[in-house]
Amino acid sequence: MQIISSSIGNYIIRNCKNDDLSSVIDVNVNTLPENYTNYFYETLLTELPEAFLVAEISDKCVGYIMCTMEYGFSNFKKLGFVKKGHVVSIAVLENHRGRGIGTALITGALFGIKSKKCDELYLEVRCSNEIAVKLYEKLGFVVKNMLKTYYKDGEDAYLMAIEFNY
Ligand SMILES: CC(C)(COP(=O)(O)OP(=O)(O)OC[C@H]1O[C@@H](n2cnc3c(N)ncnc32)[C@H](O)[C@@H]1OP(=O)(O)O)[C@@H](O)C(=O)NCCC(=O)NCCS
């Protein structure tokens, strides 16, 4: 497995471990309305540990990113069938935002996803989430589609994607 470990200030970005999952779940429920079962987290960690990362400071988890991988139609090539990574969820605790952690988590996940030789990475983001949209654009993602009433509360999502050239 591709090991990821980097630091940003006093924060460490590294692969998630089973022991981290309860803290990851705490960050998720404190930051996002989209929540998941414990089994779902365990499955993602088992299936794609290369792109399941946490940010920690003083042994406290303050952020995470988790992804899946699938085969499907390309977001870039007409009629192309490709191997795609999918960012399922990313979040940083509010008190720790604006310090580069989100950028570092996505950069790390891109590295992990590329190590699996994926052709693309995509995600959904609320159209109102300007901070996240800007962050993804800064890292090379482009809006490829708008998904009407994607979220349970009826809000639309942008489907954003990035293509890799090896
Ligand atoms: C999106 C999110 C993960 C970004 O995390 P982060 O650690 O703040 O990210 P960064 O520090 O790398 O900042 C990313 C950009 O957002 C900007 N930003 C961060 N907080 C901001 C704020 N409160 N107001 C305006 N801009 C802000 C930063 O200036 C930075 O831009 P820059 O790189 O041009 O300077 C975080 O805002 C979050 O957890 N939000 C709630 C969950 C969420 O929306 N997840 C995404 C679902 S698709």
Query: 110-161: per-residue pLDDT in tens?
Result: 999 999 999 999 999 999 999 999 999 999 999 999 999 999 999 999 999 9
List of residues 6+ apart from 73 with CB closer than 8 A: 79, 80, 81, 82
Q: Is 162 in the pocket of ligand 1 (CB under 6 A)?
A: no
Give the pLDDT of residue 61.
98
- Look at residue 166 and tell me whether its pLDDT is greater than 90: no
Give the pLDDT of residue 4.
81
**Side chain identity at residue 57, one-letter code:** I
Give the pLDDT of residue 104.
97
Task: Report the residue among 53, 131, 153, 155 best suited for mutation to probe ligand 1: largest number of ligand atoms under 8 A from its CB.
Answer: 131
Give the pLDDT of residue 65.
98
Could you name the CATH architecture of 5-163?
3-Layer(aba) Sandwich (3.40)
Confidence band (pLDDT; 50, 70, 90) for 79?
confident
Measured from the Cα of 132, ligand 1's closest atom is: 1
